[in-house]
Structure 1
């Protein structure tokens, strides 16, 4: 009687194990019959918890995938429809008017440029994520590089009456070790963002700080509109925009901050962001100091 009861309970317990795939059938066959319901309950609860977390993670990923596809569709659709609209108008007879033809072709060309810009940025992110983009590590003066970026973006800043400046007026050369072109791209993207979301007659300041013996911290701050706290964790996502309509009007691919993050992480460095809505934002990243200080250039 005892044996029959144990066999009956064993079959029920084994079926539960098999149903939830906690153990293989062979594992139970080679082990003594057990009726330890406390152990079974504990393992089933663990299984249920793990599966719940897995399902929640899959739901988050699916939501992100849907949002990403929606964003990329919108980003590509706008310039595509723009180009199509102008070309269709020309083909329908507007081509005969030289003034309209030239104007519409210029606008179509801008739409094509935007498409190329988005595709190139997507291609760069893909290469960064897959590790196919090799970094050309050299030693250079980060202060000189920032001055060059200031010159490149001077006209863009002037249009919004924004001043580009170093936090310390008498900043000295500071040599670092990194991919010069990629770091310039990072600084450009961060300063362009500060101009885009900056206030008229505002200021964008850059500081270069000797953080440790091995690291330099580059800090870019502004007194613009700032970022609401709930938006900060998603700033570096592809196509994520805090102000969707306003930022699209300003141009850009919506991939700038995502590229910045990938470039910094490819250098095995860190990027940080602090912001207070209505007051301003500060982005900063670390970079390795150069081994040689090039004393002859510092003199």
Structure 2
């Protein structure tokens, strides 16, 4: 069925001119039954009407539409865009222009939604950052004020307060260092120095370096049976060491006393290896899992500031793994335990 819905300006001009020309041509034929005169009147009316209507559409309506397009893209038109506005845009139907505007509006809606989400995260991040710095600063201020008000005369109290002040200073230094590292990872300022190494050897080294902490809670750290066969990966060794240290340290903090930490290493295919660190601790609520890699995000049920740390460890891990073009994942259930893992490239020949 014929419809004028999707006609271009030129087609609409021709259709409107045809509607005007036919009655005029018939009128001339009725008044004076001369085919030549009637056809001439039809052609002259059609041509004149077509160019007049086309002029009105292109120079008035499409000039306004062109301004709308320029407003949408908010840039000074290049030569290519000017060609588009001059030759291609006038060939579009009104419906096609409407679809373009609707697509732009939908894109703007999505961008606004993302900006609102980012703004909410930004506010939360700034609140968390202020809290993280405020806690040690207020503690240091309290210790210093007490010392200045006479506690210096008591050697035992002065020593204890200075030790606590030193701990809070270290916490602030670690926080600033972690923030700086995340900033450099995000900006790509930290290059990766990839090399081949056996991932199980690194896991054993990390276990050894954290053995004092694990022994204090009587937590046994092992590599899963069947995963002992050496697997060589190609990655930045020191950065991956940092990731594994963070994961194992978290497992020690939040794992249950007299518990077990297990590392698993698998070849997922000929190009990739999967590394996972599992604990049998307090676990993480399902509602928290999507956000645990955010800066300063801490869940409840014991994952609080009381256990120490800056709250940036998992965020740093995430950025390091993403810098290797891989992703981190988490599986967890309350009171059963947590598994954090990532993939890496297999050894390059």
CA deviation after TM superposition for structure 1 residue 139, in Å: 2.8
Do the aligned residues in 2 keep the contact of 1:14 with 1:28 (CA within 8 Å)? no
CA deviation after TM superposition for structure 1 residue 5, in Å: 12
- In the alignment, structure 1 residue 99 sits paired with structure 2 residue 148: no
CA deviation after TM superposition for structure 1 residue 94, in Å: 1.0
Higher alpha-carbon deviation: 196-205 or 134-143? 134-143
Residues 39-64 of structure 1: CA deviation (Å, up to 9, x unaligned): 44333322322221121111111111
Give the Cα–Cα distance (whole angstroms) in 2 for the partners of residues 126 and 207 of structure 1: 30
Give the Cα–Cα distance (whole angstroms) in 2 for the partners of residues 184 and 72 of structure 1: 26
Identify which of 95, 112, 122 aligns with 1:65. 122
Counterparts of 1:139-218 in structure 2, within 5 Å, are 139-168=196-225, 171-218=228-275
Higher alpha-carbon deviation: 202-211 or 165-174? 165-174
Do the aligned residues in 1 keep the contact of 2:328 with 2:341 (CA within 8 Å)? yes
- In the alignment, structure 1 residue 51 sits paired with structure 2 residue 108: yes
Do the aligned residues in 1 keep the contact of 2:125 with 2:296 (CA within 8 Å)? yes
Do the aligned residues in 2 keep the contact of 1:227 with 1:281 (CA within 8 Å)? yes
Do the aligned residues in 2 keep the contact of 1:128 with 1:263 (CA within 8 Å)? yes
CA deviation after TM superposition for structure 1 residue 233, in Å: 1.7
TM-score, length-normalised on structure 1?
A: 0.85
Count of aligned residue pairs for this structure pair: 292
Give the Cα–Cα distance (whole angstroms) in 1 for the partners of residues 310 and 259 of structure 2: 24
| Partner secondary structure for residue 210 of structure 2 | helix
TM-score, length-normalised on structure 2?
A: 0.73
Residues 86-110 of structure 1: CA deviation (Å, up to 9, x unaligned): 1111112111111111000000000
Higher relative contact order (CA 8 A, sep 6+): 1
Give the Cα–Cα distance (whole angstroms) in 2 for the partners of residues 36 and 181 of structure 1: 60
CA deviation after TM superposition for structure 1 residue 256, in Å: 0.4
Identify which of 270, 274, 281 aligns with 1:224. 281
Q: What is the CA RMSD across the aligned residues, in angstroms?
A: 3.0
Give the Cα–Cα distance (whole angstroms) in 2 for the partners of residues 183 and 39 of structure 1: 52
Give the Cα–Cα distance (whole angstroms) in 1 for the partners of residues 239 and 301 of structure 2: 27
Gaps of 5+ in 1: 293-299
Identify which of 42, 67, 74 aligns with 1:18. 67
- In the alignment, structure 1 residue 273 sits paired with structure 2 residue 330: yes
Q: State the match for 1:296 in structure 2.
A: none
